[in-house]
Amino acid sequence: MKNFDRKKRFLAWTVSIIAHLFIFSLLAAIDIHPSPAEASQNKKHDLLIQHIKSSLDTSFVISKPKFNQTSNNLYSNSNDKKLNHAQIFPNQSKIVSQKDIFKKPQKNNSLFSSKPILPGKIKFYDSVSDARKICYLVDSSGSMHGLLSSVKQELRTSISALRPDNYFALIFFGNDQLYQFQEGKMVRATKSSISSVLRFIDRIEPQGPTNAIDALSRAINVKDSINDPPQVIYFLTDGFEFRNNSQSDIESRITSLLRKNTSTINTIAFWPQEKDKKILRLIADLSGGTFTCYDK
């Protein structure tokens, strides 16, 4: 009986050991032989690890950049000599030092100079000037009927082209009266003043007799805010009144009038008689101006 129990226990242990060995063998087979999907994934993983290791072991070499050779006028025919500071910076006389930076600026009176700050030409018909301060003296008498509209348009064009550095005055004469913009004072050519004078021009109509000598006397005495006269006067008319004055009387009055004149007077004549031409040419000659004539 004891021998039977002993055999029974031995058989049970043997079966248990065989079962465990079978299970361990099965698990080992599963680990050693993975499924096709797992094998593919593991292969990719191994390749990635190899690529990273290879990249880390590789020393990077940056290639030298290439530049196209171009010609430079600074170095042409110079045998590659070094350029000095004056050649590299032709508009700068020396290198600015710290001492120069804190140096007190020198006084500059250029803002108060009579020379124009902004370059430019002032054109009225074919009469051209580079003056900063201008007075327009325009005949608006009844004899200018049919012509004044085109004169006004030319006047608008000339005044609209003035720069902010210019000063101007405008005087119309006719009907024994003077029609003066801003009371005949010279004003700066700002956008506001130009807009105002253009409206003023629109209101002028031709009428009455010509009072040219009185108008010229007024233009000569025009002043700006610092009491300077115009540098140039554009004097436009179609002639003088000879009913009460002879040609010699008018010439004598004008000669006397221009003795104290400092303005250049450019005279512009439309359809003048010969004696008108002579007087207008005299005015231009005595003042150092030009005479422009438009005949019929």
Below-70 pLDDT ranges, the chain? 1-8, 13, 20, 22, 24-120, 296
Question: What is the predicted pLDDT for the residue at 5?
Answer: 62
DSSP per residue over the chain, as a string? -HHHHHHHHHHHHHHHHHHHHHHHHHHHHHHHS--HHHHHHHHHHHHHHHHHHHHHHSPP-PPPP-------TTTTTTTTPPP-HHHHSTT-SSPPPHHHHTSPPPP--GGG-SS-SS---EEETTEEE--SEEEEEEE-SGGGTTTHHHHHHHHHHHHHT--TT-EEEEEEEETTEEEEGGGG--EE--HHHHHHHHHHHHT----S---HHHHHHHHHT---TTSPPPSEEEEEES----SSS-HHHHHHHHHHHGGG--SEEEEEEES--HHHHHHHHHHHHHHT--EEEE--
Question: What is the predicted pLDDT for the residue at 11?
Answer: 73
Residues 222/270, Cβ–Cβ less than 8 Å: no
Question: What is the predicted pLDDT for the residue at 240?
Answer: 93
CB neighbour class for 47 (10 Å; exposed up to 12, middle 13-18, buried from 19): exposed
- If you classify domain 130-294 with CATH, what class do you get? alpha beta
Domain ranges of the chain: 130-294
Question: What is the predicted pLDDT for the residue at 163?
Answer: 95
Residues 150/125, Cβ–Cβ less than 8 Å: no
Question: What is the predicted pLDDT for the residue at 190?
Answer: 97
The number of C-alpha atoms within 13 Å of 214 and in the hemisphere containing its C-beta is: 13
140-162 tens-digit pLDDT: 999 999 999 999 999 999 999 99
Question: What is the predicted pLDDT for the residue at 213?
Answer: 93
Question: What is the predicted pLDDT for the residue at 121?
Answer: 87
Q: Cα–Cα distance between 151 and 145 in angstroms, integer?
A: 11
